[in-house]
Structure 1
């Protein structure tokens, strides 16, 4: 599955660069959004079709919150480490790490707060996170477990990477991934603003 994903991305990039005219490219965002909604809808049907999932989640209780908590800690530690390596201000590296993969929001927020360069770094950091996540999900699910496949997805585990997580794991993990994405997406504007204003 990983090879299919990588090849699909490369073929798409080639088509975007060599094949499709600029007039069509403006409609790609709408088509991608529609496709994403259809995929999420189909995942929802798959999850809803398993009658025991919600009982299992109820039994798990607060353990479900360990996944987003781990994602938050990992993202912030990653932001600190990379910020240290590149001699960035502490508040900026933590704010970038607080994007949790939501590049369209964190990039815009940090551009407004810290300028074009910081916004571009936040945008690219989270874009690369999502690209790496697409490659890692099947590997982590197979080699480790389904929960570890959620972690790199961050906020995208409720939308763009949810279909991949659902395919690589099981419906119970897909529900946890969705919950993880909702929590992290809700925290992105709060954490980005909080950490940036520490400086």
Structure 2
């Protein structure tokens, strides 16, 4: 976990200090997207290969849907609240 946080902080500092060439920013977007797809694919492989998860998929699926919808709904509500607050200050 520490390596993940350190990597993130290093990326933020490199970008903040302007140490990355401007033409590389479009490449980082593509690299991030590829990394995200690779992460989702490997998570799917891991989940599909675990017989306990597959056998409990109905129960876990319902919980996952509830958690996902709650996360999305909470994010949208917070976004509207922050947008309302900052629009009033402008």
1:69 Cα deviation (Å)?
Answer: 5.1
- The runs of at least 4 consecutive aligned structure 1 residues that moved more than 6 Å come to none
* Distance (Å, rounded) in 1 between the aligned partners of 2:28 and 2:19: 13
Residue in 2 aligned with 1:41?
41
Contiguous gaps of at least 5 residues in structure 1? 84-91, 97-109, 119-199
Q: Which stretches in structure 2 are left out of the alignment for 5+ residues? A: none
- Alignment map for 1:119-198 (pairs within 5 Å): none
Change over 3 Å in CA distance of 1:30–1:49 after alignment to 2: same
The normalised TM-score by structure 2 is: 0.65
TM-score of the pair, normalised by structure 1: 0.33
What is aligned with 1:13?
12
Quote the residue 1:51 is aligned against: 51
Q: What corresponds to 1:172 in structure 2?
A: none
**What value does the CA root-mean-square deviation take over the aligned residues?**
3.1
Distance 2:40 2:55 in 1: 22
3-state secondary structure, aligned to 1:52: helix
Alignment partner of 1:47: what SS? Answer: helix
- Report deviation, 1:18: 3.6
Q: Which has the higher contact order (CA 8 A, sep 6+)?
A: 1
